[in-house]
Structures are given as structure tokens and as C-alpha cells.
């Protein structure tokens, strides 16, 4: 005998848990299925720059108490070009700010909220399959503790990431996929050292891009552009710190505090969008439908905006049979997705080294950087996109 719920949510990352929390508050029953363990989900190191729209959504979900207490409000960022630095005053230019608060902490808060409300979250669900999505009674099957299980539902939300089962369950030829793969990666290092600056620094340097980020006033996150052919063993901490210092202006490098890494990884960069984001009774959210390079800090925030549209559409459909939000879900999401893809592509193209593009492209990039550092109008455009376009 199959269990029954209104919305089956695939994936217990921040988007799946946030959607479950918001639907629960609206009186809609959900079950969340996750193939990984709880500890694995919490162990993933991800972005931590939250747009104001996402912060408002977390408050609406009742999970922002610790965020409001511990999150670091940033009113600006700095853009660097070799030894030049220009502060982009987000608050003055847009009236909005961003909050630095790690994705791990967002996930931890959401897990606690779902547990407090008795939410059903099943970890280590194996062999998850989505069935009869094109009918009015879809079903999810999986194996739990060696036993086959089944769940009947009205809707399925695919929040299980780029490699998950949700998008793969849509018949071949149904989706239009758009992709750009970048010829480099980001080497990231996490350390228990004070951040080199109170705000994030995005650097373009002849040796490659660098980012000085943070998780708290005592924990820093740094990134270096690197070749995808490189391996972590080639980057001992000493080499990382030395290379980072080379890519920073001297006055910034002089105050850089180094220490042992507590996490280090290399991540490839890509831009990707799958259209449409709904197929019959399946709604795709977050990385299941789109990927952005991390340069513009949009990945987690885009997932949150998908959840904004999904929870309103599903609530209207489940509570009153109103299908307007369901019908417009994909178009609503994709309007914002493509603007964020554009911004992330632009930031990536502006700040990274592309040695294979030739001298003309390098001159154009230098002109764009020079224009940005001297143009209040372009700085306002950057700030508007960085703090987040409206939902």
C-alpha cells in the first residue's frame, strides 16, 4: 500500500527544505526524499551571499532568527583590476544590501524547522523513481532500509540538483537545453582566519581571477581561477596563499592572514538552462533546471526565487484548484533565471582571464573594466543585479 501526500519533494537541500517549510505553513502536506545522508547534506560547502529577496523568504518561512542574529550585512563589494580597486556601494546605488550567511547554516536552520514541525524528510532514499508524471496521480518509488516504498501525490517538485533524477525523468526531446562550459575552474580554500576585508573583493588579475569572501568574522573563503587540468595535491596551502597574495593589490595582500585550510576543492564553471521548468505534474527548482557560474553569487538565490514561485503556485492549486500559477510557473521562473544567467556570464567574462581568446578580446575586456571602474551608471547596473532583481 502506497503512502499519500500532496506534494512529493525530491532533494533535501535548501530549496527542497524551504519549499517543504513554506507549503507546510500553508497547510499543505509534503514528504521530502533525499538520497544522501543528513551529515553529507550538511557537509557540503557552498555559497553564502544572500539577496534581500531570499532573506525575506526565509523570514516568511520562520527560519531567519539565527540569520538575523549572526548574518553579516554587506552594503558594498569591491571590484579590483590589477592594483586598482573600486568600491560598489550597493546600499547607496539600490537601497538594498546582501547578507553573508553560509548555505550550510541555511540548511541547518531549515532542517531544525522541519523537525520542529514534524516534517517528513527521508534521507538515504535509494533508487528513487518518478512515475506517471503525465497523469493526475503521479507516484514516487524508492528503496528505504532495503524495502521498496511508494508515495502517491498530486505534484512533484524536483529540487535534487543538476545530477538528480527529476530532470532526467522528463522524456528525451521534451526539454531545450542551453549550456556554456568555461575553460577554467575555481580553486576554493576555507580557513579559520579573519577575512582580509570586511566586504567581498572580486579581482581581475593578469594571472587570473581571485575572490576574497567570508563565512563569518573569523572564517574566510578564498578562490583562485585555475586550470581544470590541475589537481588539489598540486596546491598545498603555502602555494595557495602565495598565489592569492600575488593577485591582490599590495595594500590588501599586506594584511592577508594565512592559516591551515579546513576545506579545499576545485569546481568547474558552467552556465546551463533547461526549458521548460514544468512538465505536467513535475516542477523543477534550482540546480535541477539551471546552473550559473558562481561569480555573481546567484546559484542559491535563484533556487530561492524558484521556490517563491513554486510554493505560491502549488498552494493555489492544492488549496483552491487555481492552476494559473502552475501554468505560468516556468515562464515566471525563466524570466528571472535568464537575467541572472546574463549577469553571471557577464561577471565571469569580465573578471577571468581567457588566454585563448586572443589580444582583441583582452583589449575589449580591459576597456570594459576601465569603463566599470569609472562609470556610476554601469556600477548601478552591477549593484542592481548583485543585490537581486525583484521576484
C-alpha cell at 54: 531570499
Q: What is the mean pLDDT of residues 177-187?
A: 97
All residues at 6 or more sequence positions from 74 whose CB lies less than 8 Å from its CB, including other chains? 49, 90, 97, 98, 99, 100, 198, 199, 200
Residue 261's pLDDT is 97
Structural domains in the chain?
3-74+97-178+270-347 (3.50.50.60), 182-269+353-387 (3.30.9.10)
Q: What is the mean pLDDT of residues 310-318?
A: 98
Residue 239's pLDDT is 98
Active site residues: 74, 202, 294, 298, 386
Residue 45's pLDDT is 67
pTM equals 0.96
Q: What is the mean pLDDT of residues 306-328?
A: 98
Residue 327's pLDDT is 98
Q: H-helix or E-strand containing 312?
A: helix 299-320
Does residue 91 register a pLDDT over 70?
yes
Residue 48's pLDDT is 86
Q: What is the mean pLDDT of residues 262-291?
A: 97
Per residue in 3-61, pLDDT (tens digit) is 999 999 999 999 999 999 999 999 999 999 999 999 999 887 676 899 999 999 999 99
Per residue in 324-345, pLDDT (tens digit) is 999 999 999 999 999 999 999 9
How does the average pLDDT of the chain come out, rounded?
96
- The percent of residues above 70 in pLDDT, for the chain, comes to 99
Per the listing, cell 516504498 goes with 149
CA–CA separation, 188 vs 44, rounded Å? 13
Does residue 369 register a pLDDT over 90?
yes
By the 8 A CB rule, do 122 and 33 touch? yes
By the 8 A CB rule, do 207 and 246 touch? yes
- 2 confidence band (pLDDT: 50, 70, 90): confident
Question: Do the strands 120-122 and 30-33 form a parallel or antiparallel pair, or are they unpaired?
Answer: parallel
Does residue 387 register a pLDDT over 80?
yes
82: left (phi over 0), alpha (psi -120 to 50) or beta: left
C-alpha cell at 383: 549593484
Residue 58's pLDDT is 98
C-alpha cell at 120: 517528513
Residue 207's pLDDT is 95
Q: What is the mean pLDDT of residues 70-93?
A: 96
Q: What is the mean pLDDT of residues 88-105?
A: 96
Q: What is the mean pLDDT of residues 310-325?
A: 97
Amino acid at each position: 500500500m502506497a503512502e499519500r501526500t500532496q506534494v512529493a519533494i525530491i532533494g533535501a537541500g535548501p530549496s527542497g527544505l524551504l519549499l517543504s517549510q513554506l507549503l507546510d505553513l500553508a497547510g499543505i502536506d509534503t514528504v521530502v526524499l533525499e538520497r544522501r545522508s543528513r551529515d553529507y547534506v550538511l557537509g557540503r560547502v557552498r555559497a553564502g551571499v544572500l539577496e534581500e529577496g531570499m532573506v525575506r523568504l526565509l523570514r516568511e518561512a520562520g527560519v531567519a532568527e539565527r540569520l538575523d542574529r549572526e548574518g553579516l550585512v554587506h552594503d558594498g563589494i569591491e571590484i579590483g583590476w590589477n592594483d586598482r580597486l573600486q568600491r560598489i556601494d550597493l546600499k547607496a546605488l539600490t537601497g538594498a544590501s546582501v547578507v553573508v550567511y553560509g548555505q550550510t547554516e541555511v540548511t541547518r536552520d531549515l532542517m531544525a524547522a522541519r523537525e520542529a514541525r514534524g516534517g517528513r524528510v527521508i534521507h538515504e532514499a535509494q533508487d528513487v523513481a518518478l512515475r506517471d508524471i503525465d497523469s493526475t496521480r503521479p507516484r514516487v518509488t524508492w528503496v528505504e532500509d532495503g524495502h521498496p516504498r511508494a508515495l502517491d501525490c498530486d505534484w512533484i517538485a524536483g529540487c535534487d540538483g543538476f545530477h538528480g533524477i527529476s530532470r532526467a525523468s522528463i522524456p528525451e526531446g521534451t526539454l531545450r537545453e542551453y549550456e556554456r562550459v568555461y575553460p577554467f575552474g575555481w580553486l576554493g580554500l576555507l580557513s579559520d582566519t579573519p577575512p582580509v576585508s570586511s566586504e567581498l573583493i572580486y579581482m581581475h588579475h593578469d594571472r587570473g581571477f581571485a575572490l576574497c569572501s567570508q563565512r563569518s568574522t573569523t572564517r574566510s573563503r578564498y578562490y583562485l581561477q585555475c586550470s581544470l587540468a590541475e589537481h588539489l595535491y598540486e596546491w598545498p596551502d603555502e602555494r595557495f596563499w602565495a598565489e592569492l597574495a600575488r593577485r591582490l593589490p599590495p595594500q590588501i595582500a599586506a594584511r592577508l592572514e594565512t592559516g591551515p585550510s579546513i576545506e579545499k576543492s576545485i569546481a568547474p564553471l558552467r552556465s546551463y538552462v533547461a526549458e521548460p521548468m514544468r512538465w505536467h505534474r513535475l516542477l523543477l527548482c534550482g540546480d535541477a533546471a539551471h546552473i550559473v557560474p558562481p561569480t555573481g553569487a546567484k546559484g542559491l538565490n535563484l533556487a530561492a526565487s524558484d521556490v517563491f514561485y513554486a510554493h505560491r503556485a502549488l498552494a493555489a492549486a492544492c488549496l483552491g484548484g487555481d492552476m494559473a500559477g502552475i501554468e505560468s510557473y516556468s515562464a515566471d521562473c525563466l524570466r528571472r533565471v535568464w537575467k541572472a544567467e546574463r549577469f553571471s556570464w557577464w561577471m565571469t567574462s569580465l573578471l577571468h582571464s581567457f588566454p585563448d581568446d586572443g589580444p582583441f578580446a583582452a583589449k575589449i575586456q580591459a576597456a570594459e573594466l576601465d569603463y566599470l571602474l569609472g562609470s556610476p551608471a554601469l556600477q548601478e547596473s552591477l549593484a542592481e543585479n548583485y543585490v537581486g532583481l525583484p521576484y
